[in-house]
Structure 1
Amino acid sequence: MSLEPIIIVHGGAWAIPDSLADGSVRGVQVAAKAGYDVLRIGRSAVDAVEVAIMSMEDDPVFDAGVGSVLNADGEVEMDAVIMNGSNLKSGAVACVQNIKNPISLARAVMEKTDHTLIVGKGANRFAQEVGAVVLPTDQLVTKTARKEWEELMKFRTTVTTLFSQRYPPTDHVNQGHDTVGVVALDTQGNIAFGTSTGGITAKRPGRVGDSPIIGAGGYADNMTGGVSTTGHGESIAKVCLASHINHLMERGMDPQTASETALSFMAVRVQGSGGVVVLNNCGNPGKYFTTERMAWAWIKDDILHYGLNPGEDFSENVH
């Protein structure tokens, strides 16, 4: 029996400035439509996730692919992950440099290797083997991102103190960044998720947050549902946020309640903030964030829903 497909997308949970607000909402709408078009012609959830995330990786408004930020050494280090809920196969890359679409490289890890995560130089070597598109740093980093990096570096005395000063342990409540993520359910009932990020401006080189970590940056299982997370990576990893939500759905909680419950737990337990988009295996969506804003969109039955600020839920027909 063919199911009605659905896709849900986020463009990062953080204090999105007004200058990026319209672009962020437009970007998630475009990505959701691109992924939904894939689902409507009967292609897989994995295909839809990759297409939707590539759309956002190619959009410089987001901190993923083109639009990635610079670490403390002035280099780009990106993380990405994708997971197939039908067989629990997954692939991820971390601290990979100068790759145009890290999500496609993560999919290659899933489909062309026996591994789940490849990092650093090994990830870039693998990228060469599979012919991934490489871009120089000046084509990946926007003028705005470089200016932000330059401003931050002016006030840092050493690389070793940079990250702790920029992100002290007690200052997690309003943090976040524009990681992008997608969850999709295809007509065959298969679920997939993907997450991609360019990291945090002026982060310590080699730092990896939650994004490429299965169970933290996301999870997908046909038995329960799928999740993609965004926000303060260290907090998300500590509570295994995606797995937490999946466990709540396994116990019978609906996606929206599970999202709110898990993020509230994270705020209390580790004083961390973030956001999630969620689908259960019946195709019911959930989305929630504890940051100031999160750009999100989802499509089912040719109806596009989207928003940015708390309480927003606009809708329109996509065809």
Structure 2
Amino acid sequence: MCNTNLFSITSLNRCNCLITSLSRASLADMLPVLVVHGGAGHIPKKRVQLSCAGVRAAVRGGYSKLQGQGSAMDAVVEAVTLLENDHHYNAGLGSVLNIKGEVEMDAIVMDGRYLASGAVSAVRKVANPVQLARLVMDKTSHLCLTGEGASQFARAMGVPEVPEESLITEYARMRWKKNLAADANPVECQMGKMGTVGAVAVDAEGNIACATSTGGMLNKMEGRVGDTACIGCGGYADNRVGAVSPTGHGEAIMKVTLARLILFHMEQGCSAEAAADEALAYMKERVGGLGGVVVVDPQGEWSARFSSLQMAWAAAQQQTLHYGLYAGEHFTQNIDDPY
């Protein structure tokens, strides 16, 4: 049976089987929908408001694409691009640093229509890895490019190269230096970083997409690739089932192929929230990993779920903006209302 013990945010009912409320609302009324996250974990108090503001801005930007008849892929890439450009997150500008004090970023996109996907890993000197991942999907026959090969492809596609220093913030450098100390507590240092970013969407045509982007793990080994660039781990989208974008400890997510595991539970009849609960509980029990996800299904049911202390999230549906950070939080406002 589907586990329902974790914190729940969903746009429809909380049953662990197929949706019944659609008999009261047409599919067209529920679409489009966009859900984003800004990372699961522990966010320092002085950065909480900035984290919440960032996901709201990203969901507004992505939702505007959907309102303008843009595709689900357009929406998730726009939302994640906005989060990559916000230095309060661990993606693009503001990415955490590896053991050598350098930026190496991963990103993935997936189009649920054809199971098309593109990813990049360990990329440097690119402002928006999620846009490069989309180019991999659209312009190559491959699913993932890494390191220098990804950089060469970016240059061939005319993607501007930016100085690495332009992606490094003082906050990221401070966390890096603190974790180098002989008496550093690795768990505490990881808690102080901001999170991976991601988005899932269903557009007005019923097409589904996901996107995820990250700077990875603080003080990671050079060349380390986490879950984000791996299909089925850092994201998955299938028009027949739904889409997932996860955040959390990458190695744990990879061990259970978290994104695909959630969609497996949905294929068995679980709702988006119940499937997320089941998979997150399994990851915690089996490999001791904490994390969070945003999930959406083809009918527009969405969920933002996490087993960690916090996860910044926001969603837009039916002209309403939803958002929260702590367990039990669910704030709403009209999408057009000022902040």
TM-score (norm 1): 0.93
Structure 1 pair 76/125, CA: closer, same or farther in 2 (3 Å)? same
- Alpha-carbon separation, structure 2, partners of 1:150 and 1:240: 32
- Alpha-carbon separation, structure 2, partners of 1:16 and 1:209: 21
* Corresponding residue for residue 96 of structure 1: 123
Query: CA offset at residue 177 of structure 1?
Result: 5.3
Query: CA offset at residue 153 of structure 1?
Result: 1.6
For residues 53-68 of structure 1, the aligned pairs below 5 Å read 53-68=80-95
* Corresponding residue for residue 159 of structure 1: none
- Alpha-carbon separation, structure 2, partners of 1:90 and 1:314: 33
Q: 2:233 is aligned with what amino acid?
A: A
* Corresponding residue for residue 293 of structure 1: 310
TM-score (norm 2): 0.88
Is the contact between residue 92 and residue 110 of structure 1 (CA under 8 Å) also seen in structure 2?
yes
Query: CA offset at residue 73 of structure 1?
Result: 1.0
1:82 maps onto 2:109 in alignment: yes
- Aligned residue for 2:173, secondary structure, equals helix
- Aligned residue for 2:110, secondary structure, equals strand
Task: Compare 191-200 and 2-11 and name the one that shifted more.
Answer: 2-11
Paired residues in the alignment total 309
* Corresponding residue for residue 198 of structure 1: 215
* Corresponding residue for residue 129 of structure 1: 156
Offset from partner CA, 1:125-178 (integer Å, 9 cap, x none) = 11111122322222111101101111112328xxxxx9xx8369xx99x79850
* Corresponding residue for residue 312 of structure 1: 329
Q: 1:12 is aligned with what amino acid?
A: G
For residues 263-274 of structure 1, the aligned pairs below 5 Å read 263-274=280-291
- Alpha-carbon separation, structure 2, partners of 1:191 and 1:79: 21
* Corresponding residue for residue 230 of structure 1: 247
For residues 1-319 of structure 1, the aligned pairs below 5 Å read 4-155=31-182, 166=186, 178-319=195-336
Q: Which runs of 5+ in 1 are unaligned?
A: 157-161
- Aligned residue for 2:326, secondary structure, equals coil
Is the contact between residue 45 and residue 186 of structure 1 (CA under 8 Å) also seen in structure 2?
yes
Is the contact between residue 175 and residue 231 of structure 1 (CA under 8 Å) also seen in structure 2?
no
Identity, in percent, stands at: 45
Q: Which runs of 5+ in 2 are unaligned?
A: 1-26
Offset from partner CA, 1:278-299 (integer Å, 9 cap, x none) = 0011110011111111000001
Q: 2:75 is aligned with what amino acid?
A: A
- Alpha-carbon separation, structure 2, partners of 1:65 and 1:175: 17
| Cα-Cα RMSD | 1.9
Is the contact between residue 176 and residue 274 of structure 1 (CA under 8 Å) also seen in structure 2?
no
- Aligned residue for 1:199, secondary structure, equals coil
- Alpha-carbon separation, structure 2, partners of 1:273 and 1:131: 38
Structure 1 pair 73/176, CA: closer, same or farther in 2 (3 Å)? closer
- Aligned residue for 1:298, secondary structure, equals strand
- Alpha-carbon separation, structure 2, partners of 1:14 and 1:294: 6
- Aligned residue for 1:206, secondary structure, equals coil
- Aligned residue for 1:308, secondary structure, equals strand
Query: CA offset at residue 31 of structure 1?
Result: 0.4
Q: 1:301 is aligned with what amino acid?
A: Q
- Alpha-carbon separation, structure 2, partners of 1:253 and 1:89: 25
- Alpha-carbon separation, structure 2, partners of 1:122 and 1:97: 11
Q: 1:318 is aligned with what amino acid?
A: I
Offset from partner CA, 1:26-64 (integer Å, 9 cap, x none) = 000000000100001111000001100000000000110
- Alpha-carbon separation, structure 1, partners of 2:278 and 2:113: 26
Offset from partner CA, 1:105-144 (integer Å, 9 cap, x none) = 0000000000000001101111111122322222111101
Q: 1:42 is aligned with what amino acid?
A: Q
Which 4+ runs in 1 deviate beyond 6 A?
none
- Alpha-carbon separation, structure 2, partners of 1:132 and 1:75: 20
- Aligned residue for 2:174, secondary structure, equals helix
- Alpha-carbon separation, structure 1, partners of 2:52 and 2:84: 14
